[in-house]
Amino acid sequence: MNAGPTGASPDDRRTVKVSKYLSRHLRHQPDRIGITLDANGWVSIDELMRASAAHGFRFSRAELDRVVAVNDKKRFTIDGSRIRANQGHTVAVDLDLPPAEPPEYLYHGTVSRSLDAIRAEGLRPMTRHDVHLSPDRETATRVGARRGRPVVLSVHAGALHRAGHVFRVSANGVWLTASVPPEFIRFPGA
């Protein structure tokens, strides 16, 4: 297919649109379309597709499979006849992820306007269940760039783990922990 003015093909734009729709309803507002996530965040694909269609947003199983397969952040997992978001929920779910020992350093992408609050309070989950940390600087840079010019913070995850903080890693490689106190964060230029 031909690329449009943004350089993305119509198929790519549709994939992004479906992905954003899934994120909204599998992570934040399942009740908006009348679906119920189970305790671990799963919902039947048939139920999701019926509810979406009933609310004016139709997509095919092939489109759904494409979103799951090509999403660069691997946001979703399909397990047989059900689907869930891998992390980032603002609704109550237990992803049933076992505790894991993190690498010595993990990274967090943010923007400069957030630095004063982070210096004072550390990293907090805000509306999510956990703080999200990236395994490498490149990923953290992409995360921070969603909100402006990115700033990458280094988190001394090994020391934080040794201090008793629990870490888990999602199916798409995002490291999750309840909070990161400021003394475990290395700020740029520090």
Q: Where in the chain is the domain with CATH 3.20.170.30?
A: 106-186
Residue 171: predicted pLDDT: 87
The mean pLDDT value of the chain amounts to 92
CA atoms within 13 A on the CB side of 98: 2
* Alpha carbon distance 110, 158 (integer Å): 21
Residue 74: predicted pLDDT: 86
Stretch 24-52: mean pLDDT: 96
Evaluate whether 170 touches 176 at the Cβ level (below 8 Å): yes
Going by pLDDT thresholds of 50, 70 and 90, the confidence category of residue 6 is: low
106-186 folds as ADP-ribosylation fold (3.20.170)
Going by pLDDT thresholds of 50, 70 and 90, the confidence category of residue 82 is: very high
**10-85: which CATH number, 1.10.10.970, 3.30.930.10, 1.10.3720.10, 2.60.40.1080?**
1.10.10.970
Q: Where in the chain is the domain with CATH 1.10.10.970?
A: 10-85
Residue 4: predicted pLDDT: 45
Q: Which residue has the tokens 């990236």?
A: 134
* Alpha carbon distance 87, 172 (integer Å): 8
Going by pLDDT thresholds of 50, 70 and 90, the confidence category of residue 167 is: very high
pLDDT at 146 over 50: yes
Instruction: Dihedral sign for Cα 139, 42, 89, 12, please.
Output: positive
Stretch 107-117: mean pLDDT: 96
Residue 3: predicted pLDDT: 46
pLDDT at 92 over 60: yes
22 or 4, greater pLDDT:
22
